[in-house]
A and B are shown apart, each in its own frame.
Chain A
Amino acid sequence: MAKVVVTPGMFSEREYKASWKTPIVTGLFALLILIDFGLFGKNSNVNFQLSVKGDAIMLPNAVANSETINLILGITMLAIAGVSVLFTLGNKKTPVWLVLVYGLLGAVALLAWLAAGAVVPTGFILGQAVALAVPIILGALGGVMSERVGVVNIAIEGQLLTGAFMAAVVGTLTHNLWVGMLVAMLTSALLSMALASLAVKYLVDQIIIGVLINALVIGITNFLYSEWLAGSGSDANFPGTFPIVKLPFLSDIPVIGPALFEARVTVYLTYLLVPLVWFLLFRTKLGLRARSVGEHPMAADTVGINVARTRFWWVTSGGAIAGLGGAALTIGNVGAFGREMSGGLGFIALAVVILGRWQPFYVAASALLFGFAIILRIWANQVSPGIPTDFITMIPYLVTLIAVAGFAGKVRAPAASGQPYIKG
């Protein structure tokens, strides 16, 4: 049998029209970097530190002029924008990998401009960006699993917070971080069950339920924190963290080795879960059924798929993964639980689900963008105070806005996302 190529035009009579959004946005940012950072940039050297003391392979630092780097990067980025124009003229979508390369170049350009006359601790920034991105990735994976079957999950924030709290408290009380992690996943899954049953069985508005679950979890953890953990139960909040594991050989790779492969178990689990969820969703019968429930529940029901049960279990297992993301905040990073420590990461995860087009690998890349922006603000405040870091922090949110605005004719949300299905 010949392999059938699926194209957007297959299912609809309407002619596919490529959007001009990508070429315009990439072009504008490229010009901004070329002119502002390149032509009128800072004429001093920037020092990219590629190895720190103790690395297996020592690389010399890469030193170059900030203006020169940005001129080269700006022109390259402008060329990518040009390629994107060609794609759009040919009525084709700009490939995602090209956009990712573009984003990477933009990040380097920003670093080179920020750190003019200073040293960029490349490995440190990369490692921190990954550490910050892990809870976002896991929360967003939970969101993907739930939206793919047609349930909007606004409660990621609450799930992260639950996971963080349970991991810290149970991890301390049982003196076993693995138990803490497992309980964090279980409680968060239970919370998802509540969301799923209210949304699927009782047909309560999914967004409202999500918002209220967030409010409830914030309320409960705030109360327990102030009444218990900050008082009589202060000894219940010292879980410690998982040890840092160095993967042999991989951690010896210069620059990315120490950043990616000298990490805690939560980070490695994330590396495993992203491809796993992708494989489940796009390469197994189970995933095909799940996606059909999210796209057209009535059709799925007609061929004998149990819509309610599929939704229930996918949302629940998504909750377990989000709970692991919460555990990554406490026992996978700082140790103790803090008041409202998820601090909006769940809402970022929600954005990441969309920016990553409901696809695990793109979701992970988008989460890295946010992680990078967060660490960049922290670091830039130290290296060159006076730079309006608020705008750097704003970039990922703006990018998400641009991505959300104008999905018409592009990759879109699962069609039935947010809609209850009444069998009848």
Chain B
Amino acid sequence: MSNVVKPEANESRSETLLREIMSGTPLRIGLSALLAFMFGAIFMAAFNQDVVDSYATFGSDPMLTFQTAWDTIVNGYTSLLTGSIFNPNGGDAVSMFRPITETLRLSAPLILAGLGVSLGFRVGLFNVGGTGQILMSLLGVTWVSTRMTMPWGIHLIVALIVGVVLAAAWGGLVGLLKAKTGAHEVIVTIMLNYVALYLYTWFLREPSLLLEHGGGGTPKSDPPAVTAQMPLLLGPSFDLHIGILIAIAAIFVYWWLMERSAIGFRFKMVGANSHAARAAGIKIESTYIWALAISAAFVGLAGVNQGLGQAGGLTASVNGNIGFDAITVALLGGSRARGVMFAGLLFGAFKAGGPSMQLAGVSPEILGVVQALLVLFVAAPPLVRAIFRLPKKEAN
């Protein structure tokens, strides 16, 4: 995908430049974000309790409604910022800087799983199986971290490896089915999501397997051993743990893999044109298997982060819908390492800002709408172009 715009025969240099800016990706993403937040603001204002109350007097005092609506919007988005970046009213340093650390903490799994889904996209595969791969990773992580005793450090590494390997195997299975039988990966991954969910729940239900000691009816495990938990980065007053460092490392690995390595080149070639790749002697079948296994390995890291990044007992809900959020991260990030990082940080900030919006009296669920709209606009360039009447990008 190149953004090169061919100059048309009868236009001046400045016109070409303008067209280049207008049809380029940064402007489009900017406009998409503007639109998404605007729609979010409309929703936020229209259904707010105070605004709804003011509808009664709309005939006599319409300004009251508009004022209340405006206050709601400002209040909502301000509390999103103070909840996710910096809280000037925090009082002490810990409360002031806590929001940004929360954003980093919550971004880590989104970036990790987002990288996994992105890798699939680059090979022309749609990995909707994030949920299942995270659950399989959690299965391994829970086993190692609650049923085994190991020294500090080694315990974490072993849990991480087991989780990633299980997730990769779960993803590789999809690749195998696709390569051997032609089954579509979207359907297979969705089915495997449910199989993994019920498998993990069963493990958590069985006292001889993963059920917490003295546990009863609810499928829940013991908390992960202290030796296996992710070490905190900034001391006990912040929850930020080394998950974000794993995410940063994964970004570099992903970049190297896709842009510099031979296997990445093979992946991209199959993604660009599988027929041409086959004609050039690339084995499509094994490429699918490896691509889905490595994609799932990245997603599995998100599962490790979810399992070991907290001190409570594990349940199936620990997967936190990250498998599906990762799709939006990958789409917004354009499947590039840098893009996925920014997209992950943005949606991590959305998650971090939620509680503060709730306190401010605005339902943080609105961010789900903003998130979906933003990605919809970015993924469907014709839509934004039609709305803003942007010039069309050249076909070649």
Contacts and interface: CB of A to CB of B under 8 A. Distances in A.
B383 interface: yes
A61 interface: no
B368 A400 contact: no
25 contacts: A154-B186, A202-B383, A208-B331, A209-B376, A211-B324, A212-B372, A215-B371, A216-B369, A216-B373, A218-B368, A219-B370, A223-B363, A226-B365, A227-B366, A228-B47, A232-B49, A232-B53, A233-B47, A388-B205, A390-B198, A390-B199, A393-B194, A397-B191, A401-B195, A408-B182
A412 B192 CA distance: 21
B363 A227 contact: yes
A354 interface: yes
Contacts of B187: 350-351, 354, 400, 404
Contacts of A393: 194, 198
A198 interface: yes
Which 9 pairs show the lowest CB-CB distances between chains A and B? A219-B368, A216-B372, A390-B202, A215-B372, A202-B382, A219-B369, A223-B365, A390-B198, A227-B363
Contacts of B372: 212, 215-216, 218-219
Contact of B379 (A204, A224, A347, A404): A204
B304 to A, nearest CB: 23
Interface in A367-393: 388, 390-391, 393
Interface in A252-296: none
B183 A406 contact: yes
A222 interface: yes
Interface residues of B, number: 49
A248 interface: no
A16 interface: no
Interface string B162-195: 0000000000000001001111101110111011
Interface in A193-217: 198, 202, 204-205, 207-209, 211-213, 215-216
Given A198-B383, A215-B371, A220-B43, 5 more contacts: A354-B187, A394-B194, A398-B191, A401-B177, A404-B181
Contact of B191 (A204, A218, A225, A351): A351
Contacts, number: 136
Interface of A: 154, 198, 202, 204-205, 207-209, 211-213, 215-216, 218-220, 222-228, 231-233, 344, 347, 350-351, 354, 388, 390-391, 393-394, 397-398, 400-401, 404-408, 413
A223 B43 contact: yes
A227 B47 contact: yes
B78 interface: no
A226 B48 CA distance: 11
B353 to A, nearest CB: 15
B328 interface: yes
A34 to B, nearest CB: 24
Dominant secondary structure at the A interface: helix
A207 B52 CA distance: 37
Interface of B: 43, 47-49, 52-53, 126, 128, 177, 180-184, 186-188, 190-192, 194-195, 198-199, 201-202, 205-206, 324, 327-328, 331, 362-363, 365-373, 375-376, 379-380, 382-383
A394 B194 CA distance: 7
A413 B183 CA distance: 11
Nearest to A401: B191
A225 B183 CA distance: 37
A328 to B, nearest CB: 22
Contacts of B53: 232
A18 B201 CA distance: 38
A202 B198 contact: no
Contacts of A354: 187
A227 to B, nearest CB: 4
Given A204-B382, A390-B199, A406-B183, A215 B49 contact: no
A228 B380 CA distance: 30
Contacts of B324: 211, 215
Nearest to B206: A388
A400 B191 contact: yes
A86 B48 CA distance: 67
Contacts of B195: 394, 397-398, 401
A337 to B, nearest CB: 14
A386 to B, nearest CB: 10
Contacts of A204: 379-380, 382
A202 B380 contact: yes
Given A216-B376, A388-B205, A390-B199, A408 B126 contact: no
B188 A404 contact: yes
Contacts of B128: 211
A390 B210 CA distance: 15
A118 B88 CA distance: 65
Contact of B369 (A207, A223, A233, A407): A223
A209 B328 CA distance: 11
Contacts of A394: 194-195, 198-199
Nearest to B200: A390
B383 A211 contact: no
A125 B165 CA distance: 41
Nearest to B194: A397
A406 B379 contact: no
Contacts of B205: 388, 390
